[in-house]
A and B are shown apart, each in its own frame.
Chain A
Amino acid sequence: MSQTQKSVLSGTSCELGDILTMVDKRTLTGAPLHPSVDGFAKAAREGRMSRREFLAQATALGVTATAAYGMLGLAAPEAKAAAHAKKGGRLRVSMLIKANFTDARIFDWSELGNAARHFLEPLVRWTPDFTFTPYLLSGWTANGDATQYVLTVREGVKWNNGEALTASHVAWNIERWAEADVDGNSMAARVASLVDSDTNKATAGSIVADDAAGTVTLNLNKPDIAIIAGMADYPALIQYPGSSVMDGIGTGPFRMTNYEPEVGASYDRNDDHAWWGGEVYLDGIDYIDYGTDPAAVVGAFEAGEIHANFETQAEQVDTVDDLGFQRHEVATGATIVVRMHTDTAPYDNKALRQAIVKAVSNEDLLALGNNGLGLVAENHHVGPVHEEYAKLPPISRDLDAAKKEIADLGFAGTTLDLYSLDADYRLLTTDAVGAQLEEAGLNINRIVMPGSTFWTNWTTHPFSSTNWNGRPLGTQVLSLAYRSGVKWNETAYANPEFDALLDKAEATADVEARRAIMAKIEAIMQDDAIMIQPYWRSLFSHTTPEVQGYRMHQAYEHHFEGVWLDA
Chain B
Amino acid sequence: MDVFVSIVAHLWPVWVSLALVFAISWPARHVTGLYGKLYDNPIGVLGLYICLFWIFGMIFAGVIGDFGPEIQSVALRKKGPGAVDPSGMVSLLGGDVAGRDIFSRLFYGARVVIPVSVTATALAFVVGIVAGLPAGYFGRRTDAILSFMANAILAFPVILLFILIVLIARDGPLIPTLLGTLGFAPVFFIMAAAFGLRGRAGQTGILVATLLLPVAIVAAWLLGGLFWPLGWLVMAAWAVFFVTRTINCGDSRLAGFVLVAVPLLGFAYSRVAFSLPDLSAIAPLVAGLFGEVGSQEYNQAEGLVSTLFIPRDAALNVFIAVCFASAPGVFRLVRGLTLETKTRDYVAAAQTRGENTWFIMIFEILPNVRGPLIVDAALRIGYTIILLGTLGFFGLGLEPTSPDWGTMINIGRGAARSFPHMVIPPALALMSLVLGINMLADGLREMSLKD
Report which A residues bind B (CB closer than 8 A). Answer: 293-295, 298-299, 302, 313, 315-316, 318-319, 322-323, 363-364, 367-368, 371, 415, 422, 427-428, 431-432, 434-436, 438-439, 445-449, 453
Interface membership of chain B positions 43-74, coded 1 if the CB is closer than 8 angstroms to chain A and 0 otherwise: 00000000000000000000000000011101
Query: B97–A319 contact, CB under 8 A?
Result: no
Q: A368-B74, A428-B97 are in contact. Are A446 and B419 (CB under 8 A)?
A: no
Chain B, 392-425, CB within 8 A of any chain A CB: 395, 399-401, 413-419
Query: B416–A427 contact, CB under 8 A?
Result: no
Query: A367–B400 contact, CB under 8 A?
Result: no
Q: A422-B400, A446-B401, A448-B399 are in contact. Are A431 and B417 (CB under 8 A)?
A: no
Give which listed residue, B72, B399, B400, B418, contacts A318 with CB less than 8 A: B418
Q: A298-B417, A315-B415, A368-B98 are in contact. Are A431 and B395 (CB under 8 A)?
A: no
Q: A428-B98, A431-B401, A436-B72 are in contact. Are A294 and B77 (CB under 8 A)?
A: no
Q: B99 contacts the other chain (Cβ, under 8 Å)?
A: yes
Query: B171–A294 contact, CB under 8 A?
Result: no
Q: Which 10 A-B pairs have the closest CB atoms?
A: A319-B418, A367-B74, A295-B414, A435-B72, A294-B414, A322-B418, A446-B399, A435-B70, A319-B415, A295-B413
Q: B253 contacts the other chain (Cβ, under 8 Å)?
A: no
Query: B400–A431 contact, CB under 8 A?
Result: yes
Give A323 to B171 CA distance when docked, in angstroms.
Answer: 42
- Contact partners of A368 in chain B: CB under 8 A: 72, 74, 77, 98-99
Q: A368-B72, A432-B98, A453-B171 are in contact. Are A427 and B415 (CB under 8 A)?
A: no
Instruction: Report the minimum CB–CB distance from B437 to chain A (whole Å).
Output: 29
Interface membership of chain B positions 225-249, coded 1 if the CB is closer than 8 angstroms to chain A and 0 otherwise: 0000000000000000000000000
Q: B344 contacts the other chain (Cβ, under 8 Å)?
A: no
- Contact partners of B450 in chain A: CB under 8 A: none
Q: B445 contacts the other chain (Cβ, under 8 Å)?
A: no
Q: B312 contacts the other chain (Cβ, under 8 Å)?
A: yes
Query: B400–A427 contact, CB under 8 A?
Result: yes
Query: A448–B400 contact, CB under 8 A?
Result: yes
Report which B residues bind A (CB closer than 8 A). Answer: 70-72, 74, 77-78, 97-99, 167, 170-171, 312, 395, 399-401, 413-419
Give A273 to B404 CA distance when docked, in angstroms.
Answer: 58
Instruction: Select from chain A the residue with minimum beta-carbon distance to B167.
Output: A453
Query: B418–A432 contact, CB under 8 A?
Result: no
Instruction: Report the minimum CB–CB distance from B381 to chain A (whole Å).
Output: 27
Q: A422-B400, A431-B401 are in contact. Are A316 and B415 (CB under 8 A)?
A: yes
Query: B419–A435 contact, CB under 8 A?
Result: no
Give which listed residue, A302, A415, A428, A453, contacts B170 with CB less than 8 A: A453
- Contact partners of B416 in chain A: CB under 8 A: 295
- Contact partners of A322 in chain B: CB under 8 A: 418
- Contact partners of A453 in chain B: CB under 8 A: 167, 170-171
- Contact partners of A302 in chain B: CB under 8 A: 417
Query: B74–A435 contact, CB under 8 A?
Result: no
Query: A298–B414 contact, CB under 8 A?
Result: yes
Give A414 to B167 CA distance when docked, in angstroms.
Answer: 27
Query: A435–B71 contact, CB under 8 A?
Result: yes
Give A316 to B411 CA distance when docked, in angstroms.
Answer: 12
Give A434 to B72 CA distance when docked, in angstroms.
Answer: 10
Give A295 to B399 CA distance when docked, in angstroms.
Answer: 21
Instruction: Report the minimum CB–CB distance from B1 to chain A (whole Å).
Output: 25
Instruction: Report the minimum CB–CB distance from B402 to chain A (whole Å).
Output: 9
- Contact partners of A436 in chain B: CB under 8 A: 72
Instruction: Select from chain A the residue with minimum beta-carbon distance to B166.
Output: A450
- Contact partners of B413 in chain A: CB under 8 A: 295
Give A449 to B396 CA distance when docked, in angstroms.
Answer: 10
Give A368 to B395 CA distance when docked, in angstroms.
Answer: 20
**What are 14 A-B pairs at a CB distance below 8 A?**
A293-B414, A295-B414, A316-B414, A323-B418, A367-B99, A371-B77, A415-B312, A422-B395, A428-B98, A432-B72, A436-B72, A446-B399, A448-B395, A449-B170
- Contact partners of A318 in chain B: CB under 8 A: 78, 418
Give A353 to B29 CA distance when docked, in angstroms.
Answer: 61
- Contact partners of B395 in chain A: CB under 8 A: 422, 448
Instruction: Select from chain A the residue with minimum beta-carbon distance to B418.
Output: A319
Instruction: Report the minimum CB–CB distance from A450 to chain B (whole Å).
Output: 8
Residue among A434, A436, A449 with the most chain B CB within 10 A? Answer: A434
Instruction: Report the minimum CB–CB distance from A251 to chain B (whole Å).
Output: 39
Instruction: Report the minimum CB–CB distance from A162 to chain B (whole Å).
Output: 48
New A-B contacts (13) at CB < 8 Å, excluding given A422-B400, A427-B400: A313-B414, A316-B415, A318-B418, A319-B414, A319-B418, A367-B77, A367-B99, A368-B74, A371-B77, A431-B72, A434-B70, A435-B98, A449-B170
Give A446 to B418 CA distance when docked, in angstroms.
Answer: 28
- Contact partners of B99 in chain A: CB under 8 A: 367-368
Query: B70–A438 contact, CB under 8 A?
Result: yes
Give which listed residue, B72, B97, B400, B414, contacts A364 with CB less than 8 A: B72
- Contact partners of A323 in chain B: CB under 8 A: 417-418
- Contact partners of B78 in chain A: CB under 8 A: 318
Instruction: Select from chain B the residue with minimum beta-carbon distance to A363.
Output: B74
Q: A293-B414, A422-B395 are in contact. Are A319 and B98 (CB under 8 A)?
A: no
Give A445 to B400 CA distance when docked, in angstroms.
Answer: 11
Q: A368-B99, A453-B170 are in contact. Are A446 and B74 (CB under 8 A)?
A: no
Give A364 to B98 CA distance when docked, in angstroms.
Answer: 10
Instruction: Select from chain B the residue with minimum beta-carbon distance to A434.
Output: B401
- Contact partners of A428 in chain B: CB under 8 A: 97-98
Give A439 to B99 CA distance when docked, in angstroms.
Answer: 15
Give A384 to B439 CA distance when docked, in angstroms.
Answer: 61
Instruction: Report the minimum CB–CB distance from A43 to chain B (whole Å).
Output: 38
Query: A319–B72 contact, CB under 8 A?
Result: no
Query: B70–A315 contact, CB under 8 A?
Result: no
Residue among B70, B77, B78, B414 with the most chain A CB within 10 A? Answer: B414
- Contact partners of B72 in chain A: CB under 8 A: 364, 368, 431-432, 435-436
Give A299 to B415 CA distance when docked, in angstroms.
Answer: 10
